[in-house]
Amino acid sequence: MILVALWCLVVYLLGHVPSIEMRVDESEQAAPKYREQAPASTPRPEAPKPNLNLGKCFHMDRSQCPTNELRCVTIGASSVFCCDVDSFTLKEGLTVSMNQNITNLHVLNANIGELDVSQAVFRRLVSMALTDGNIGKIVGQFPKHSSIACLNISNNNLTTAKLPSSMRPFAYLFNLTVLDASANNLTEFPLSLVQSNRKISVDLAGNNYLPCKEFQKAMESNNNSLVTFLNYNNTYCALDLKFNWFKDVQIVQIEHLKVQRELYASCRNIKPLNVNCTCVPDRLELLGKDVTYLVAVDCSHRHLKQMPYDLPPNTVKLNVSYNNITSLEAVGDDETYEHLRQLIADYNDIDNIGSLEGTKFIDNFMLFSITHNKLKNIHMYMLSNKFETSGGYTTFLIGGNYMHCDCNTEKVLKPWIIENSKTIQDYKEVQCLDGMGPVVDLKEFQVCHTPRDWTDYIYYIIGLEVLILVLLISKVSYDYWVFKTAGYLPWPANKMPRLPCDWLCE
């Protein structure tokens, strides 16, 4: 019986083991099949690494914006990306997403009324970008010892009022090497950043009303190797222009500011050496696509005894007032005066302007001021043609000079000055020597005196003869009246000898 039972068990096992193995094989084959049918999870985008050498902060494309309620997502192990947030959602998203490993942050399209950059959440960041949004105002200062090396605040409608330099928001960003503030409306240059002794790359393209003079300070020789302007060819600045009474703002590409550095070098070469004149761009002259800087040179109060020479190229304005200059010969002799249009030589010892005859300056000047010098006469023939052809755009100032006044002055110079009073705007201040007052008030009897001869008395003689004739006619008429009424002649007439023509009265 036992043997029969064992035999039955063996037969049973032989009949059921293959089916068990088959089921195991089927289950093992079904698992991979299930895994193949399971939908693949969406892979997270890889975080782009900031490239500070190229001036690029951590930046994500809009197509990667998170769709969760927090509007923020962690990218990789060290980056956070937020989209379309306001003050509340940004704070909430950063609270959840930020941790001690996060060093990169990009916030796209943030509509924030007031951004407080002093928050501790920004302390560990190396790259911080808030782009393509609308930030009402940036307040506070980045935390001390912040690690931020790249800051991008481009295209946020920022103005200088919204990013006040007086608040010094960047004061503690000692590691900052890239600043992108492009596509805003800033009118004040962050000079505090670029004047530090560290290399920094700055992108200010799209802020076209930043003053050129502040760009110029940043481009001076001591900063030239430290400051790099990103997007250089698209960076413009506002240049203040003054031309006589006319004022304007010209938007120019910052490449043209290199001219200023060349100008400083040529200004130091003005002779006499060590005169230390100052040179500044006076205005721009646009000839097609070429921009030429016209230069103004100030050599006033320099104790000069002669006109300076070797002026910078394209010098159009020169001020040599308050010196001891006695001659203007250099204006015609020195080729660097070729483009001069405005000469201010007040309070010197110049006694003659005849040396300017035939020069380009006297034919083309727009302002010639030579007040309070030692001029004794004016070369009218040299100036008349210029005044007639200038159309009222010429100014000639000679007030404070004392002329030698004579009859010719009253007859010629006085009418000439009055005729050109619109050009000689201080004509009433041109004085005569010997205390005779202004030239325009000169009277003929004061200066027109000639030696007397007998012809000076002819009018008196004629008057006397007329008087005698009248008396004679009166006497004869009286005698005739007496003769007719009384029948006798008065004694003088009675004693007179008879004349052949007496019969006419009988």
Read off the pLDDT of residues 164-194 as tens digits, 9 standing for 90 and up. 777 788 888 888 999 999 999 998 887 666 6
How is the chain split into domains, by residue range?
52-253, 299-308+319-447, 455-505
CA nearest 85: which of 57, 100, 105? Answer: 105
pLDDT digit string, tens, across residues 392-414: 789 999 999 999 998 899 999 99
Domain 52-253 has CATH 3.40.50.720: no
Q: Is the model's pTM score more than 0.75?
A: no
| pLDDT attached to residue 451 | 62
| pLDDT attached to residue 52 | 59
CA–CA gap between residue 380 and residue 401 (Å, rounded):
15
DSSP state of 257: G
pLDDT digit string, tens, across residues 104-156: 999 999 999 999 999 988 989 999 999 999 999 998 888 888 899 999 999 99
What number of other Cβ atoms are within 10 A of residue 65's Cβ?
16
Q: Which tokens belong to 447? A: 């200066």
| pLDDT attached to residue 31 | 33
Q: Tell how far CA 74 is from the center of its chain.
A: 48
| pLDDT attached to residue 360 | 92
| pLDDT attached to residue 163 | 81
Do the domains 299-308+319-447 and 52-253 match in fold? yes
Termini Cα distance of the chain:
224
User: Do residues 105 and 128 lie in contact, with contact meaning Cβ atoms separated by under 8 Å?
Assistant: yes
| pLDDT attached to residue 486 | 78
* Residues of the chain falling short of pLDDT 70: 1-55, 191-197, 220-225, 241-248, 260, 284-291, 450-456, 491-506
User: Do residues 168 and 74 lie in contact, with contact meaning Cβ atoms separated by under 8 Å?
Assistant: no
| pLDDT attached to residue 153 | 94
SS3 call for 413: helix
| pLDDT attached to residue 28 | 33
CA–CA gap between residue 323 and residue 346 (Å, rounded):
8
| pLDDT attached to residue 369 | 96
Task: Report, at the CATH architecture level, how domain 299-308+319-447 is classified.
Answer: Alpha-Beta Horseshoe (3.80)
CA–CA gap between residue 217 and residue 234 (Å, rounded):
19
CA–CA gap between residue 392 and residue 157 (Å, rounded):
46
